[in-house]
Amino acid sequence: MQKGVTNSQIESVKQRIKELGFDYQLNSGEELTVIAVLGKETGSCDTQVFEVLPGVEKVFRIEKAFKLASRDFQQKDTILKIGDVEIGGKNVVIMAGPCSVESEEQILACAEIAKQKGAKILRGGAFKPRTSPFGFQGLKEDGLKILAKAKERTGLLIITEAMSIEDVAVVADYADIIQVGTRNMQNYPLLTAVGKSHKPVLLKRGFAATLEEWLMAADWILREDNSSVILCERGIRTFSNCTRFTLDVGVVPVVKRFSHLPIIIDPSHAAGYFGYVPVLAKAGVAAGADGLIVEIHPDPKKALSDGAQSLTFSDFSRLMEELKAIASAIGRSI
Amino acid sequence: MQKGVTNSQIESVKQRIKELGFDYQLNSGEELTVIAVLGKETGSCDTQVFEVLPGVEKVFRIEKAFKLASRDFQQKDTILKIGDVEIGGKNVVIMAGPCSVESEEQILACAEIAKQKGAKILRGGAFKPRTSPFGFQGLKEDGLKILAKAKERTGLLIITEAMSIEDVAVVADYADIIQVGTRNMQNYPLLTAVGKSHKPVLLKRGFAATLEEWLMAADWILREDNSSVILCERGIRTFSNCTRFTLDVGVVPVVKRFSHLPIIIDPSHAAGYFGYVPVLAKAGVAAGADGLIVEIHPDPKKALSDGAQSLTFSDFSRLMEELKAIASAIGRSI
Amino acid sequence: MQKGVTNSQIESVKQRIKELGFDYQLNSGEELTVIAVLGKETGSCDTQVFEVLPGVEKVFRIEKAFKLASRDFQQKDTILKIGDVEIGGKNVVIMAGPCSVESEEQILACAEIAKQKGAKILRGGAFKPRTSPFGFQGLKEDGLKILAKAKERTGLLIITEAMSIEDVAVVADYADIIQVGTRNMQNYPLLTAVGKSHKPVLLKRGFAATLEEWLMAADWILREDNSSVILCERGIRTFSNCTRFTLDVGVVPVVKRFSHLPIIIDPSHAAGYFGYVPVLAKAGVAAGADGLIVEIHPDPKKALSDGAQSLTFSDFSRLMEELKAIASAIGRSI
Amino acid sequence: MQKGVTNSQIESVKQRIKELGFDYQLNSGEELTVIAVLGKETGSCDTQVFEVLPGVEKVFRIEKAFKLASRDFQQKDTILKIGDVEIGGKNVVIMAGPCSVESEEQILACAEIAKQKGAKILRGGAFKPRTSPFGFQGLKEDGLKILAKAKERTGLLIITEAMSIEDVAVVADYADIIQVGTRNMQNYPLLTAVGKSHKPVLLKRGFAATLEEWLMAADWILREDNSSVILCERGIRTFSNCTRFTLDVGVVPVVKRFSHLPIIIDPSHAAGYFGYVPVLAKAGVAAGADGLIVEIHPDPKKALSDGAQSLTFSDFSRLMEELKAIASAIGRSI
């Protein structure tokens, strides 16, 4: 739209879009207002239909498979503001905590060390996706309550996973950010449900997803008028088995080029082994990731899940010092 | 259990399992009765606990990550009987139909040619998983009704996909086999829901799933006392881009070795191009697959989805003749 | 060139190509004569330069990265004739033998069973590429002599590998077909050397090579005026580890579409386990491969290399019967 | 061997090894002297045979597939000293230069900026491996002479590739480090030849090589009594195509754990696009790589090869400043 476009002009455009049987999505930034015309038949619609409307400056087609997640739709970086935490801005945001919520004691211990060392967000799974049906499935709502208590104590924000559309409401009640796991990246009903929750969403990359598929998955959330999506690279599946997954650190600048969404790195699931986690974390920050999500545990050997890849508190503390130095080396801070 | 084990002995074993806090699953074949003890802590339980019970012949641990899907739990091949169709037996079962249900006319045309050429099952998507939110999403229940009409006309069984736990009930009302798509292979709530429906389930391999993960996904269905699971190889994601996915035809004998479940091949999604589909179909039958699921369309160029990989009726007819000859060459029939 | 083109017209075209600083390659079939203009700067040369020459019918650019291996350069299938064996024609050619030549006794036993069951070519490695420097490296020329003796006895042709440009001359003295291994697919000096030997060459696909890279590797051989290249798919490296490599059976129709060269399948190296070899062999023939290269051994448990994937003579005999039936089912023969 | 072992005791052990038909390799560090017993039949030899010899402290088997490259054979990091450059020590060594040597002017310009910004080694290809036979093949010895001139001017060391055993002698005459390319990682005759040259060797990882295969390839060089091997990760081939290859940054800590050899990163070939190169370079240094090899060009648009991934001099200069800051953040320097 033109600079100085009026609300009534915007309304007319929206109405025209509706008349033609399409959906729209409005992106009004400080400098630019963009209206996306959405629908499977937009290709057959002449752009002149919209060019003649008052207030319209230019009509163009987004050639990429992803639309709302693309830089064509929004030029400026998305910076999420959740409480007093900004994700996608100058600060590199650290999320830390155990794989699963196991007990209040465990979570409070993690929350304290996380807070003390500079993390801003506490992670912990209450609903656990497990490859085998015979593994530990999580404490469910009891787990969420423990996370809430840790938040109350420390002021850390909470991120936790929703596995099913049935969990979304209760998870949204407790969490500041809802996580969608790698196995659910193309679970479209779930993407729609977390989109509708209007909570910020961390969208993990499917471990065999291309960039296009990942950003199209983000589109599923964004189209529910939920612009708070954070991408998370957590390792892809390749022939190489020396780490559990192969961290695709090179995807960071590609995301930055083609999308306006923030991207963070999960070094723990990529590494699969605590000894490699700090290296991947440092590589991620140096690569320009907007944050990290790291697994820590007071006693990794006794963890109910993912013990092998969890950092002890002392390893985590040492890592945080190194990360601060690296962030500072590239003009950012933690 | 020993040969000639009594019901009351079986009940005692089940009761003991429950007392110890585990679940069980019973597999009573004609020759063998096996009771699986299930739970995340079975490793800490001594096998002697069960060895001393009356009627017990032998207690052993299934070392593989998958349990109920494994040959250790059931030695004999699972043969599903749905109406008068057997899957997993001597016959190679052909499932054919369009990607999406688009209209009654389209479906009836597909059903007639399928029936005439020897297919036993009609495929067609009513709930469609689409990578982009702005594509065709399917006719939903109206689509299911069209499939039901085609079944009534031709006697073909119906296979169609459920994408969400919310769809399972309505899909189960119309379908003879519920399909779980590749993107949902690790959607555990959905696996549980289709398991509970007690309908036969076609479980497509996740396009980056290992054999272990796939069979563990089958375990999620099998543990709901639903023993009717058909596996479907549909191509895996690799570096090679000359076909859309790489058909892992070599997984057929591996599945046959380690699992008792039937396995079929989807040559259409692997190929991504109609010209390669017949070759993959023939390779699949020669490799010993128990069936095929093939996309056909009366007019592929006008298909709302997957047109490029759909066979015309004449290509399909020619293929069926070749498949019959190959099946016969390896001692099977179509 | 036009039909009825004269030799002197062809000579003029060749001369013009040379004057412009390019290379040429002549393909004179029964119906068509094609002259390829080769060089890194052909893109900057106007096609009119050649269009005006007498005898020239049409000048076009081969847009693909591979040139001489492409169907654009030669429309008709290449059929190699070596002795009385045709590769790429109606017959499916079976090559069988052990991984390594170990002894005269072993080779003669393999040759006899191979001959008796319908194989046409004897395989056996005299120069062995081994991943570790501390493994068995082959009998070298002594091994070649043993192969020659087997040829004399049975009339089977011989295929064996050259690993280094230094080996090419001696291998060419004994072999009917020189094999280039998967690890050498992009060893350009070796490709040039085997090209210059003017012996038929079996070019194994690099286990991570795209179709384009593979056919460009074939170009390296073809440009030495050696038109006798056979492609061999032997499994690609993917995340899937249930077979040693993933047989990319779908590459067969893609090769047939874009290239005129014959393609065979190596089921043994793909499978890595004898129990899976027959399935991959059958899938390969059903997929339209022009041949197979299969490892057999009189006593696989005692093999110095690749014992796990070698067929016993009785497994091989049974397989040959099944392969004949499948070949016949698709209108070919063995 | 025991501390204070004598030369004659070492000689006796060597002699015993020879008598038994094995090879040996001696690793005498300041604190430890280790003698490796090498051969394909070592598994059948009792360790007691050596335990009884005077001066022997302990006999153990290296269970890994790679031997000489393993930490079991040498506990201390290998630090190469070439002129006054150390690779594998505290300094992160930058190698920079164009893909191909094109002209004296181009090389001298690259050498000057490289020197000025802190690089220690000049790269440039004189013998070029090209996927298609119709591309630019390099200036060969003329190219080497140009590199020598640049060395004379700036004092930079020279690294350049040998593609064939025939090139090794001439390359060794001019180069300080011989590069073995990714396509030649399993070209065993070439590995043997560069091993015998006794020049330091940069061994690029095959783009589909596992860690084991890579370190076994290093063994081929090391067994020629050439202990100067540098590993180079340059991206692996995966399904992900948003960068040209996927940089496996996680392999760095795995190499450091299991091998004593230094490892550097090639961000240019992994990225395939200049815009992503700096990010991968920074990630590599943060991950603990011992160096980088980066493509730069005075005018990338006119480069005869790899223009898209070459940095301009100003991009390179900016990158060097950032790299110095990151190196310093992790306690190293450039």
Question: Which two tokens mark D9?
Answer: 């005791």
With CA atoms as reference, the chain C residue closest to A241 would be C239
Q: Which residues of B touch A189 (CB under 8 A)?
A: 163-164, 166
- On the question of pLDDT at C43 being above 80, the answer is no
| pLDDT for residue C215 is more than 80 | yes
Cα D93 to the chain's mean position, in Å?
12
User: Which tokens hold the place of D225?
Assistant: 């009594």
**How confident is the model over C166-193, as pLDDT tens digits?**
999 999 999 999 999 999 999 999 999 9
- Chain D nearest C-alpha distance from A118 (Å): 18
At residue C104, the 3 state secondary structure works out as helix
Q: A129 pLDDT band (50/70/90 cuts)?
A: confident
Task: Between C192 and C21, name the one with better pLDDT.
Answer: C192
Count Cβ–Cβ pairs < 8 Å, chain B vs chain C. 130
The total domain count for chain C is 2
**Residue B313: its pLDDT value, please?**
97
Question: What is the number of CB-based contacts under 8 A between chain B and chain D?
Answer: 8
Residue type, B284: G
Burial B99-111 (b: 16+ CB within 10 A, else e): bbbbeeebbbbbb
CB D118 within 8 A of CB D173: no
pLDDT band of D180, cuts 50, 70, 90: very high
CB-based contact, B134 to chain D, within 8 Å:
no
Q: B326 — contact with chain A (CB < 8 Å)?
A: no
| C287 touches B at CB < 8 Å | yes
- In angstroms, rounded to a whole number, what is the distance separating the alpha carbons of residues A115 and D330? 23
Burial class (CB in 10 A: 0-12, 13-18, 19+), B48: exposed
Residue C92 CB contacts under 8 Å (≥ 6 apart), including other chains = C285, C289, C290, C291, C292, C323, C327, C332, C333, C334
Is the pLDDT assigned to residue B63 strictly greater than 80? Answer: no
The answer to whether B135 faces chain A, any CB pair under 8 Å, is: yes
Q: Which residues of A touch B67 (CB under 8 A)?
A: 132, 134
Start-to-end C-alpha separation, chain B: 38
Distances (CA, A) of A185 to A250, B125, B214, C99: 20, 21, 17, 45
- Tell me: do D272 and D166 sit in the same domain: yes
Is the confidence at residue A183, as pLDDT, over 90? yes
- Please report, rounded to a whole number, the percentage of residues in chain B having pLDDT higher than 90: 78
State how beta strands C157-161 and C121-123 pair: parallel
Residues in A closer than 8 angstroms to D236, CB to CB, are 238-240, 246
Residue D234 resides in a domain: yes
Identify whether residues A97 and A32 lie together within a single domain: no
Judge whether C271 is closer than 8 Å to chain B, CB to CB. Answer: yes
Would you call B133 and A220 a contact, using CB atoms and an 8 Å cutoff?
Answer: yes
Q: Are residues D20 and D145 in the same domain?
A: no
One domain for residues A207 and A245: yes
Asked whether residue B63 is assigned to any structural domain, the reply reads: no
Residue C134 sits in the same domain as residue C270: yes
- Say how many CB pairs under 8 Å bridge A and C: 8
* CA–CA dist C313, D253 (Å, integer): 47
Among chain C residues, CA nearest to D23: C134
Which of D131, D203, D224, D244 would you mutate first to test chain C, the one with the most C CBs within 10 A? D131
CB-based contact D60:D40 (threshold 8 Å): no
Specify whether B85 is located in the same domain as B27.
no
Q: Which residues of A touch D248 (CB under 8 A)?
A: 238, 240, 246
Q: What is the DSSP string of B111-166?
A: HHHHHHHT--EEE-BSS---SSTTS----THHHHHHHHHHHHHH--EEEEE--SHH
Q: Is the pLDDT of residue D32 over 90?
A: no
The confidence score (pLDDT) of residue A319 equals 98
Query: A242 and D251 in contact by Cβ < 8 A?
Result: yes
> What pLDDT score was predicted for residue A236?
98
How many Å separate Cα B269 from the centre of its chain? Answer: 15
Name the residue of chain A whose CA is nearest to C245's CA: A239
Q: What is the pLDDT of residues D267-277, one digit of tens each?
A: 999 999 999 99
Q: Do D132 and C38 touch (CB under 8 A)?
A: no
Query: What pLDDT is stored for residue B231 in this prediction?
Result: 98
Neighbours of D, requiring at least 3 CB pairs below 8 Å, are A, B, C
Which residues contact residue C160 at a Cβ distance below 8 angstroms, ignoring those fewer than 6 apart?
Answer: C101, C123, C124, C125, C126, C127, C143, C144, C147, C171, C174, C175, C178, C179
Distance CA A235, CA A241 (A): 12
Q: pLDDT at residue A23 above 90?
A: no
Half-sphere exposure of residue C163: CA atoms within 13 angstroms, side-chain side: 19
Give the residue from chain B lying closest to C269, CA to CA: B250
Which of C248, D1, D188, A163 minimizes the C-alpha distance to B280? C248
Q: Are D205 and D232 in contact (CB under 8 A)?
A: yes
Contacting residues for C19 by C-beta, under 8 A, at least 6 apart? none
* pLDDT of C48 higher than 90: no
Give the best residue of D132, D165, D187, D225 to mutate against chain C (max C CB count within 10 A).
Answer: D132
> What is the pLDDT averaged over residues D33-44?
84
A122, amino acid identity: L
Contact D282 A330 (CB under 8 A): yes
- Which of D239, D241, D242 is the best residue to mutate to test the B interface, defined by the most B CB atoms within 10 Å of its own CB? D239
Examine the domain organization and report whether C108 and C250 are in the same domain.
Answer: yes
Q: Nearest chain A Cα to C208, which residue?
A: A239
| B218 contacts in chain A (CB < 8 Å) | none
Residue B66 placed within a domain? no
Identify whether C73 is part of a domain.
Answer: no
pLDDT at C304: 83
Q: pLDDT at residue B46 above 90?
A: no
Contact C147, C174 (CB under 8 A): yes
- Please tell me whether residues C37 and C114 are part of one structural domain: no
Count of CB pairs separated by less than 8 Å, A with D: 130
Minimal Cα–Cα distance from C180 to chain D, Å? 12
Q: Is B204 on the interface with A (CB under 8 A)?
A: no
CB of D181 less than 8 A from some CB of A: no
DSSP symbol at D140: T
**Beta-bridge partner residues of D264:** D232
Q: How far is CA A205 from CA A212, A240, A255, B154, in A?
A: 11, 18, 12, 43
- The pair of structure tokens assigned to D80 is 């190469």
Which class for B166: exposed (0-12), middle (13-18), buried (19 or more C-beta within 10 A)? middle
> Where does the pLDDT of residue B40 fall: very low under 50, low under 70, confident under 90, or very high at 90 and above?
confident
What 3-state class would DSSP assign to B324?
Answer: helix
Whether residue A326 lies within 8 A of chain D, CB to CB, comes out as yes
Those residues whose C-beta lies under 8 Å from the C-beta of residue C334, and which sit 6 or more positions away, are C91, C92, C94, C118, C285, C320, C323, C324, C327
What is residue B206's DSSP assignment?
Answer: P
Q: Could you tell me if C65 lies within 8 Å of chain B, comparing CB atoms?
A: no
Who contacts D64 (Cβ-Cβ below 8 Å, separation ≥6)?
D70, D72, D212, D215, D258
In a domain, D64, yes or no: no
**For B243, which of C246, C254, C322 is closest by C-beta distance?**
C254
C-alpha to C-alpha distances, B171 to A95, B125, B191, B284, C13, nearest whole angstrom = 41, 10, 14, 28, 68
Tokens matching residue D281: 């370079």
Write the secondary structure of chain A as one string of H (helix), E (strand) and C (coil): CCCCCCHHHHHHHHHHHHHCCCEEEEEECCCCEEEEEECCCHHHCCCHHHHCCCCCCCCCCCCCCCCCCECCCCCCCCCEEECCEEECCCECEEEEECCECCCHHHHHHHHHHHHHHCCCEEECECCCCCCCCCCCCCCCHHHHHHHHHHHHHHCCEEEEECCCHHHHHHHHHHCCEEEECHHHCCCHHHHHHHHHHCCCEEEECCCCCCHHHHHHHHHHHHCCCCCCEEEEECCECCCCCCCCCECECCHHHHHHHHECCCEEECHHHHHCCHHHHHHHHHHHHHCCCCEEEEEECCCHHHCCCCHHHCECHHHHHHHHHHHHHHHHHCCCEC
Structural domain contains residue B188: yes
Tokens of C329: 């089912």
The rounded distance, in Å, linking the Cα atoms of D165 and C163 is 12
Mutation site, A132, A180, A182, A222, interface B, largest B CB count within 10 A: A132
Of D242, D275, D287, the CB nearest to A283: D287
Distance from CA of B273 to the nearest CA of C (A): 10
- The C-alpha atoms of residue A213 and residue C305 are separated, in whole angstroms, by 43
Nearest residue on chain B to A215, judged by CA atoms?
B132
Would you say residue C44 lies in a domain? Answer: yes
Using CB atoms within 10 A of its CB, is residue D254 exposed (0-12), middle (13-18) or buried (19+)?
Answer: buried
Cβ D247 vs Cβ A250: under 8 Å? yes
| CATH at D274 | 3.20.20.70
- What amino acid occupies position B225? D
Q: Is the pLDDT of residue D278 over 80?
A: yes
Distance of CA B50 to the CA centre of its chain: 34
C141 in the same domain as C239: yes
* Residue among D133, D163, D217 whose CB faces C220 most closely: D133
| CB neighbour class for D21 (10 Å; exposed up to 12, middle 13-18, buried from 19) | exposed
Please judge whether C189 and D132 are an interchain contact, meaning their C-beta atoms are less than 8 angstroms apart: no
Q: With CB atoms and an 8 Å threshold, state whether D211 touches A240.
A: yes
Per-residue pLDDT of B87-135, as tens digits, reads 999 999 999 999 999 999 999 999 999 999 999 999 999 998 777 787 7
ipTM comes to 0.91
CB burial class (10 A; 0-12, 13-18, 19+) of residue C312? middle
Query: What band does C28 get if pLDDT is binned at 50, 70 and 90?
Result: confident
Taking contacts as CB-CB distances below 8 angstroms, the residues of chain D near A282 are 286-288, 330
Q: Which domain holds residue C27?
A: 7-51
Q: Which residues pair with D86 in a beta bridge?
A: D81
| Shortest distance, CA B244 to any CA of chain D (angstroms) | 11
Residues B130 and B248 in one domain: yes
Alpha-carbon distance B167 to B188, whole Å? 15
Which contiguous run of DSSP H or E holds residue B290?
none
B225 touches chain A (CB under 8 A): no
Is residue C97 pLDDT above 90, yes or no?
Answer: yes
Is D42's Cβ below 8 Å from some Cβ in C?
yes
Q: Which residues of B touch D237 (CB under 8 A)?
A: 239
To 5 degrees, how large is the angle CA A243–CA A249–CA A255?
140
Check D165 against C165: CB less than 8 A apart: yes
Q: Are the Cβ atoms of D250 and A280 closer than 8 angstroms? A: yes
What chain C residue is nearest to A208 in terms of C-alpha separation? C239
Location of structure tokens 């339209």: C288
**Most confident option among A77-81, A134-138, C27-31:** A77-81
Q: Which of D38, D166, D183 sits opposite C186 (nearest CB)?
A: D183
Among chain C residues, the shortest Cα distance to D237 is held by C208
First to last CA, chain C: 37
pLDDT of B41 over the 80 cut: no
CA geometry: angle D209, D213, D216, nearest 5 deg: 145
Q: Please answer yes or no on whether B210 and C239 come within 8 Å at the CB atom.
A: yes
Q: Which residues of D touch A239 (CB under 8 A)?
A: 208, 210, 236, 238
d(CA C214, CA C217): 5
Query: Looking at the structure, do residues A46 and A183 belong to the same domain, yes or no?
Result: no
Same domain, C237 and C309: yes
| Torsion angles phi and psi, residue A207, rounded to 5 | -75, -5
CB proximity D239 to B under 8 Å: yes
Considering only A159-173, A293-307, C258-272, which range has the smallest mean pLDDT?
A293-307
Contacts of A111 (CB under 8 A, 6+ apart): A97, A122, A150, A151, A153, A154, A156
Q: What is the dihedral of CA B3, B9, B10, B13, to 10 degrees?
A: -120
Give domain status of residue A143, yes or no: yes
